Amino acid sequence: MGQWRRRIHHHHHQYQFPRRIALPAAALLLLFLAVSLLSFSLPVPPLTGHLGLASSSRRSLGSSRSRRRPPNSSDGEMDGGFSDIRKNERAAPIDLWGSKLASNFYGCSNSSGKFLDSSVTTQPDRYLIIVTSGGLNQQRTGIVDAVVAARILNATLVVPKLDQRSFWKDSSNFSEIFDIDWFISFLAKDVNIIKEPPEKGGKTVKPFKMRVPRKCTPRCYLNRVLPAILKKHVIRMTKYDYRLSNKLDKDLQKLRCRVNYHALRFTDPIQELGEKLIKRMREKSRYFIALHLRFEPDMLAFSGCYFGGGEKEKRDLSSIRKRWKTLHINDPEKGRRQGRCPLTPEEVGLMLRALGYRSDVHIYVASGEIYGGEDTLAPLKLLFPNFHTKETLSTKEELTPFLTHSSRMAAIDFIVCDGSDAFVTNNNGNMAKILAGRRRYFGHKRTIMPIAKQLYPLFMNRANISWDAFSSQIQIVQKRFIGEPMEIMPGRGEFHANPAACICEKTDIKSLVELNSSSNRESVRSTEISKPIGEPTYPIYTDEEADRSDTEDDPAERGEMIEMEAEDDSLVRQEDSELEEILSD
Ligand SMILES: *[C@@H]1O[C@H](CO)[C@@H](O)[C@H](O)[C@H]1NC(C)=O
Ligand SMILES: *[C@@H]1O[C@H](CO)[C@@H](O)[C@H](O)[C@H]1NC(C)=O
Ligand SMILES: *[C@@H]1O[C@H](CO)[C@@H](O)[C@H](O)[C@H]1NC(C)=O
Ligand SMILES: *[C@@H]1O[C@H](CO)[C@@H](O)[C@H](O)[C@H]1NC(C)=O
Ligand SMILES: *[C@@H]1O[C@H](CO)[C@@H](O)[C@H](O)[C@H]1NC(C)=O
Ligand SMILES: *[C@@H]1O[C@H](CO)[C@@H](O)[C@H](O)[C@H]1NC(C)=O
């Protein structure tokens, strides 16, 4: 998201962070990266497999098929499929616009019979106020978790306050982004939610301010927050992001899904424009790709990666980088090798073409400020000339009411990306993860999250191998992460990206019956899914990685007791979190 922020004085400051603040930020970055790596390090065929492919197609060097650029759609590249390489050397082509297996699964977030009604659980005199943090989608995770935290504490939740002072600078309040009445009524049975903080004798009760560590478990809430809420009655937590553990029992995970996928709806004006843009994309072609492209200068500078822009890029990015005194010199090559660098627009384009999307496909690009602007986008536009954005699809009048609000602009992109047939990102930020999870929940819509670490050597080698070999290798690598059911083990990765507790498989009998009457005949039994993965057998707690990700706390906050905040938390906030927020779209 967020590019449309109004950061007028931003670049004129040289922020110098006190160590106490810079360290948590750096630690958070590491955590972010670690989690990204964990969730993407999926097994791939050994490298020798790639080499074999590469060398076999090198034999055809010189023929028209050894082009180093993708062929134009007009010359039949996709129609003949992969006739130009012997069949057994080629990965089976992926289904570009959907998953055949998807129809065997459905989103299931209803609570179990054991989950008591909020009228039973809600205790009087327990109120939770939270203030979210970061960009729109990071705030969304905070809202989701706040509902669950209130439920754990048997407390009434005050509608979350949005972060209006973040890097992204958006003054919108909750009701200007989300349908507040729908939010409250949809969750009425789960958690009592009120719009305004409680009053006593006509006066707002002064809340007790505290924070919990990141990824605080339910037990952690009961140990740390419950005593405080019993005593003080109204608790206020700021910077509420990732404050609840990834791992929770199934009913609480399902509550997360009810909030995220059902209770949070954008307001009508946002929803209407988003849907209008989807409709306009569909008028152009039957299917479309949405690409969430993060390539803002700050984000690139912070990543420490090199994106091929020569001396100018190095100068530009290193001058931005100087704003963060505590960033050490890094090795751009290493970053790429480790898959920590967002793909360039050209790399995304090449990956998509390699996967089989033709140059005549229409692509919606959700992005903000792009470093290098049109020059950076040019190679992508060459690969996909039918290039659209919300700016090109809407009239000035339609977009104007949203322009000055980065979160509303991000929400429009969110809707179009969600409505696309194939969604692809060049990054592993919050929007990418939330949309990936959402698309799994709503029918495993095709979602391509680049496995940067494994794609990197292929991009490096691109000039030296034929297009066909390149394409085939990209397919082999990326096929593992295109939004198929069960491609990530339940419990692995972040819950927002892999909401396994909320995805159920149709029972055998039922799916057989349905298959009988549908055209999707072959899918159930003839697939790679080797073990039954019906909902009751989900090993929700058994995954080590999930466990680890919950204990991999922000080191600076580990062991922290209830942290009292200064009276005026604006003093505490200031710019301390700018670093994180560059990553927190
Ligand atoms: C392929 O497309 C490019 C860009 O649209 C165009 O310049 C080129 O002439 C085309 N090549 C062929 C063989 O059609
Ligand atoms: C979930 O609950 C809703 C409302 O009670 C009901 O309409 C729906 O069928 C339920 N879904 C499933 C999958 O049980
Ligand atoms: C919340 O209410 C339920 C049902 O009354 C009770 O079992 C549980 O212990 C309560 N938890 C807290 C933290 O008050
Ligand atoms: C949210 O903003 C709208 C429009 O500026 C305003 O009418 C409303 O009172 C605000 N709500 C809260 C809770 O501040
Ligand atoms: C590509 O091939 C050239 C010439 O054969 C060689 O010098 C170069 O190192 C190769 N590049 C890569 C990335 O393998
Ligand atoms: C599927 O259809 C076939 C023939 O059309 C029928 O014999 C079979 O019983 C059906 N299976 C189920 C599970 O309904």
Is residue 474 within 8 A of residue 454, CB to CB? The reply is no
| Residue to mutate, 110, 111, 112, 190, ligand 2, most ligand atoms under 8 Å from C-beta | 110
CB under 8 Å to 142, separation ≥6 — which residues? 130, 132, 133, 134, 160, 240, 241, 242, 243
| Cα 192 to averaged position of ligand 3 atoms, centre (Å) | 14
Question: Counting ligands in written order, which one lies closest to the CA of residue 77?
Answer: 1
Ligand 4: nearest atom to the Cα of 196: 13
Ligand 4: nearest atom to the Cα of 175: 1
What HEC string does 444-494 produce?
Answer: CCEEECCCHHHHHHHHHCHHHCCHHHHHHHHHHHHHHHCCCCCCCCCCCCC
In angstroms, rounded to a whole number, what is the distance separating the alpha carbons of residues 364 and 417?
8
In angstroms, rounded to a whole number, what is the distance separating the alpha carbons of residues 208 and 216?
19
Q: Name the stretches of the chain with pLDDT < 70.
A: 1-67, 72-91, 326, 328-329, 508-583
**Atom 10 in ligand 3: which residue has the minimum CA distance?**
154
| Cα 128 to averaged position of ligand 4 atoms, centre (Å) | 20
| Cα 509 to averaged position of ligand 6 atoms, centre (Å) | 11
Using a 10 angstrom Cβ sphere, with 0-12 exposed, 13-18 middle and 19 or more buried, the burial of residue 581 is: buried
Is residue 302 within 8 A of residue 330, CB to CB? The reply is no
**Atom 3 in ligand 5: which residue has the minimum CA distance?**
464
Domains plus CATH for the chain?
Answer: 43-68+98-106+267-295+342-486 (3.40.50.11350), 118-265 (3.40.50)
CB atoms within 10 A of CB 505: 23
Question: Counting ligands in written order, which one lies closest to the CA of residue 150?
Answer: 3
Find tokens 């004129």 and name the residue: 12
Distances (CA, A) of 88 to 56, 64, 267, 525: 12, 21, 51, 23
pLDDT score recorded for residue 91: 60
**Atom 2 in ligand 4: which residue has the minimum CA distance?**
173
What backbone torsions phi and psi does residue 119 show, to the nearest 5 degrees?
A: -65, -25
The pocket around ligand 5, CB under 6 angstroms, is made up of 460-461, 464
pTM of structure:
0.77
In angstroms, rounded to a whole number, what is the distance separating the alpha carbons of residues 241 and 254?
19
In angstroms, rounded to a whole number, what is the distance separating the alpha carbons of residues 484 and 338?
24
| Residue to mutate, 162, 172, 173, ligand 4, most ligand atoms under 8 Å from C-beta | 173
Using a 10 angstrom Cβ sphere, with 0-12 exposed, 13-18 middle and 19 or more buried, the burial of residue 144 is: buried
pLDDT score recorded for residue 164: 85
Is residue 68 within 8 A of residue 459, CB to CB? The reply is no
| Residue to mutate, 162, 175, 180, ligand 4, most ligand atoms under 8 Å from C-beta | 175
**Atom 7 in ligand 5: which residue has the minimum CA distance?**
464
In angstroms, rounded to a whole number, what is the distance separating the alpha carbons of residues 299 and 319?
13
Chain segment 310-330, per-residue pLDDT in tens: 999 999 998 888 887 767 667
| Cα 308 to averaged position of ligand 3 atoms, centre (Å) | 57
Angle, CA of 447, 409 and 139, to the nearest 5°: 75
User: Is residue 64 lining ligand 1, measured as CB closer than 6 Å?
Assistant: no
Question: Counting ligands in written order, which one lies closest to the CA of residue 514?
Answer: 6
Token pair of 463, please?
A: 């000039």
